[in-house]
Amino acid sequence: MSAPGAPAGFWPRYLAWSLDAALVALATCLLGAAHWRLLAARAADAWAAVNQRVADAMAASALDDLAFGGFLGRLGADPQVHAAAGAASAALLWLVLGWLMVYAVLGFALEVGCIAFTSWRATPGKRALGLYVAARDGGELGAGRAALRYLGGALSWLSFNIGHLVAMAKPEHLALHDRLAGASVRNRSGGGLPLWGWAWLLLQLAAALAACVWLAWALQASLDEALYAAL
């Protein structure tokens, strides 16, 4: 039995994924809001301690009239700098890994639940774009293969997204995790991206650029703070 609808192209699939990712990210933030705030505060305090130790080392080097190389040597040999940097790294690691683990579990529940146990055979993002997931023969995918498809997505991420990019290949537009699970993403409408879809993509691009600008500003502000504290 053949599946109705043409294979979904890369950009409708990406747009559907990004909508689902936004929903799961929001749920992850809300579910553990107090815990994430606590871990973020610990990471911020640890980073402030690193800045303070760097400022102290800069001040001591200036008093001893050390060159920049001498300052770096003193900084690298300072056990308190190492301890503060280790604490900051650990706090940030717990925050990131914890958030990603909750995100992965919620994403798994959404993906498998919607694809295997609803008549839509689609997550909310896919349904908004008129997409659905089926077996390669057009039948239902089932819970086992839906789970395999979701878990197989990890290989696509670990391949630096090459596993996702192969979905650009015509005519079937199969990503790596589709091939592993014997799945296919189909387009019921057969049309291109709606206008709101293009707006959502542009919003993501603007958000990515804003994040890069903010990160550069935050790093510069942190360095300036350490420098002013040393003067």
Closest CA to 27 of 145, 156, 115, 123: 123
Query: What pLDDT shows up at residue 43?
Result: 86
pLDDT surpasses 90 at 176: yes
| Beta carbons within 10 angstroms of residue 56's beta carbon | 17
Q: What whole-number percentage of the chain has pLDDT above 70?
A: 90
| Beta carbons within 10 angstroms of residue 182's beta carbon | 15
pLDDT surpasses 50 at 48: yes
Closest CA to 6 of 177, 152, 130: 130
Stretch 56-62: mean pLDDT, rounded? 72
Query: What pLDDT shows up at residue 81?
Result: 78
* Each residue's pLDDT tens digit, 78-95: 787 788 888 888 888 999
Amino acid (one-letter) located at 119? S
* Each residue's pLDDT tens digit, 147-161: 999 999 999 999 999
Instruction: Supply the mean pLDDT for the chain.
Output: 88
Tell me the three state secondary structure of residue 187. Answer: strand
* Each residue's pLDDT tens digit, 28-37: 999 989 999 9
